Chain A
Amino acid sequence: MLTDPREQARLAGTRLHHFHGGLRLRHNKKISCTLPIERCAMPERFYVPLLQHIGQEAEPLVTPGQRVLKGEVLGFFEHLGSGHVHAPTSGTVSGIGLHPISHPSGTQGRCVILEPDGLDRWTERNPVADWRATEPEELRRIIRGAGIVGLGGAVFPTGFKVHEASRRGIHTLILNGAECEPYISCDEMLMRELPESIILGAQILQRAVGAERTVIAIEDQMGAVQQALQAALRAAEAEHIDIVKVTTIYPEGGEKQLIQVLTGLEVPSGGRPTDLGLLCQNVATATAVARAVVEGKPLVERIVTVTGNGVRRPRNLLAAIGTPISDLVRQSGGYTEHAARLVLGGPMMGYPLNSDANPVIKAANCILVLSSEDVRAPQPEMPCIRCGECARVCPAMLQPQQLHWTVQHGLWEETVAAGLPDCIECGCCAFVCPSHIPLVDWYRHGKAELRRLAAEHAAADAARRRFEAREARLARLEAERRQRMEEKKRGLRSKHAQQERIAAAVQRARARRDGES
């Protein structure tokens, strides 16, 4: 059947499809779903990192000693449009300094250190009275200013995504509630407890990007979620919103995999879902959009799952950005005797943290405390035996063993040709590898090297341009100087000019004498 993929994508969710590979993993979500979501207590001090997204740090707009109100902009980030960092509460900025920032590098970064005054007073907010009557452009402007990023973990600026979507024109909005990674339950609890905010966010996003309908994708193991969302749908009398249950296979919550399940189409390599007329957003992002538009609140808090066999009372907490992780663990009953490792994110894609003094960031969907039994002793890495298990489970249909080979040997052109940029770093290949090769670590290293090489090339090109511009300028100045000299020489040589100059001197002398007499 030869039809336009954009048209075919309109049928998203009407029939379910499959993606290649994937794993069925033990869920481990129930342990953190027994307690309701609770607000995390106000910490003594907030550490708000200025780097919360891909790229460079936000530019700090506050100075030490300054008093700020909740929701004021602390850091300004223009690139891609919406990475502003806002004050999580009211209080005094006690400094801007280096602090661990919950980054895979484990290095420190600049943080705004905020001493709360305990009042939690909001800055002046400008909620829109009726979002249904607000221009889509105005809605997109609000989303951009609220510092909203994708809360599923990729932290891509939502402002940029909706801008692109409205520019390219999309027909279907997909809300991603398929939280496929084990242990993480923040989206599930959000959909259970605040379904109306998700429906509202879906309606606003739909209007902001001009989509015709919305598909909310949830996993088939989330029983109570569907009822909650259905009830909220009926209450809101929202139209053109469908709730679709998808089979639980890791990594189904990946944007590209979810789109493949819903439409049967692959997002082209190097392309975006907008190529198919789709926009994919996490359900928590939709809630943040609803907050920003209807209540005028920027993104200053998120739901974080605190779970694992290393905490006493696993649960979900509503935590302000910048709260030290130790505060969240304390509110979850503290560590058990067997707590051994702290991970930010899930067991498949998360990264270990050096310390629980690290702050909660916008990307922090889960704080996983593994017990000593969960942490496998590092297995000795064996050579690749080319068994092909990794290729069987790869959801991006790559050849992981080939990628490993090219990255290991620094064959960067071949690596790109083998599809490294299409790797979603889900970790399935490393999970099944019988030789215990840390494949994903290699791919992340490879991607970082590709980025570094590209940056070096860009810097070299800039230096070349500046060098050539300077050479051209020096040559021009030299030519001008020569020309002036030449003219001067010619002037000195010519009889006529000499006589003129003598006449002028005589004239001047005469004028002076007349003036004196």
Chain B
Amino acid sequence: MFAAVLSFTILSILFGLGLGWSARRFRVDSDPVVDQIDAILPQTQCGQCNYPGCRPYAEAIAAGDAPINQCPPGGEAGIRALADLLGVEALPLNPENGLEKPRTVAIIDEAACIGCTLCIQACPVDAILGAPKLMHTVIAAECTGCDLCLPPCPVDCIEMVPAEPTAGSWARPQPGHETARPLIGWSADLPPGAT
């Protein structure tokens, strides 16, 4: 009887120590689910989800405080990916948060800019370059198209333009969706033999 109690006490102390040690040794700093959700979110940092950035929204989703349909830049594809990850049903995008639209890039009308730095303070990814009373400009490659620089601008000199496709960034469309091609486009100086 005594031996049994003793051995179980010793065993439980040993297991307790082992568990305590491994909890410290293998501690995970951040919630892996939050990281996975954050990896799916588009990182626009636009705040349309009512959270101050993609990571806070990811944390809210992981905690079960927010539904998965509040991210307009991620769109339907993003919602589907989140639904797959979390094993929940995909919801249609909540129109209160905004509508899915093609990616845009901010452009500052440099002649009109008065150098107030308000947009620089608003930009969540530090994509605007400038100094007080000096012209500002957008680093187009870093701009996420979040629109956050528009409201603070006192002279309305920032415009959102669609990110322009170039031949280098061109992605081949699905077959059947290409623009129809003419037969030979004849040059003006070389009249075709046939019509």
Q: CB within 8 Å of B: which residues of A? A: 51, 55-57, 101, 103-109, 310, 324, 326, 329-330, 334-342, 352-357, 369, 372, 375, 381, 438, 441-442, 444-445, 447-449, 451-452, 455-456, 459-464, 466-471
Contact = CB atoms under 8 A, between A and B. Distances in A.
Interface string B115-158: 00000000011110000000000000010100000000000000
A18 B63 CA distance: 58
Contacts of B45: 463, 467
A57 B179 CA distance: 24
17 contacts: A55-B168, A101-B167, A107-B166, A107-B170, A109-B166, A339-B193, A342-B184, A352-B181, A356-B185, A357-B185, A438-B176, A463-B43, A463-B44, A464-B38, A466-B127, A467-B54, A469-B126
Given A337-B193, A463-B45, A442 B174 contact: yes
A242 B168 CA distance: 39
B87 interface: no
Given A356-B187, A448-B172, A466 B167 contact: no
Contacts, number: 130
Contact of A324 (B126, B172, B181, B187): B187
B189 A326 contact: yes
Contacts of A456: 42
A470 B187 contact: no
B186 interface: yes
A105 B170 contact: yes
Contacts of B127: 466
Contacts of A470: 124-126
Contacts of A442: 174-175
Contacts of A51: 167-168
Contacts of A352: 181
Contacts of B186: 335, 355-356
Contacts of B42: 456, 460
Contacts of A466: 125-127, 142
Interface in B55-103: 55
A456 B41 CA distance: 11
A334 B186 CA distance: 11
Contacts of A101: 167
Nearest to A462: B142
Contacts of B124: 467, 470
A326 B44 CA distance: 47
